[in-house]
Amino acid sequence: MANASTQISRRHLNLPNMLTYGRLAAVPLVVAFLFWPAEFWARWTALAIYSAAAITDFFDGYLARAWSQQSSLGRMLDPIADKLLVAATLLVLAADKTIVGWSLWAAIVILCREILVSGLREYLAELRVSVPVSTVAKWKTTAQLVALGFLIAGPAGEAVLPGSVTIGIILLWIAASLTLYTGWDYMKASYDHVGDA
């Protein structure tokens, strides 16, 4: 019994899962530094933590597959960590007026799509139907992560690269456009299974 519980504990503490835990832990840190009174070093620190967390999004899944360390816990926590990082960052950037006006709609589209797809995936998982991640969805994720990086840098980024916030906003709209496309794509792919449960 002890051996079985030790093996489960080790499986939960493998490197891919540890990277996912790290991404979860990064969320409150990024938020805290973004809320720090207007200091450039706080923005750069938030960007550094966010960038490290975003990089782990690739490596945890890649290493889990490469080392055959996939687990149900990892499969559950990985998308949760991704969505928490994106949602929390978008909300703070809206609160501190980095994202304003019409650009708020891009953030709303992204947040709504994340909630919709999460619910859809959970529903289809009960039917044992998997929805693979499309190439366009990967482009969306990349545009979204890079956009948020520019926006996190914000005024600190403007001092180094004038127009960096504008670049972030443009990329955010590109991500929102791809978000609409991939959201519709997931809806179409799952349409045949709706009502099976």
Query: How far, in Å, are 60, 87, 105, 180, 187 from residue 112 at the CA level?
Result: 25, 10, 10, 10, 14
Query: How far, in Å, are 20, 97, 110, 116, 177 from residue 58 at the CA level?
Result: 10, 30, 20, 22, 22
Q: Give the mean pLDDT of 7-15.
A: 61
81 pLDDT tier (thresholds 50, 70, 90): confident
What span, in angstroms and rounded, lies between the C-alpha atoms of 67 and 176?
34
CATH of domain 2-193: 1.20.120.1760
Q: Is 69 buried (19+), middle (13-18) or exposed (0-12) by CB count in 10 A?
A: middle
Higher-pLDDT residue of 116 and 43 is 43
- pTM score, whole prediction: 0.82
Higher-pLDDT residue of 61 and 171 is 171
Helices and strands of the chain, counted as H and E runs:
7, 0
Higher-pLDDT residue of 184 and 126 is 184
Domain ranges of the chain: 2-193
Q: Is 73 buried (19+), middle (13-18) or exposed (0-12) by CB count in 10 A?
A: middle
Would you say 140 and 23 are in contact if contact means Cβ atoms under 8 Å apart? no
pLDDT value, residue 131: 64
pLDDT value, residue 186: 72
Higher-pLDDT residue of 145 and 134 is 145
Q: Give the mean pLDDT of 90-95.
A: 94
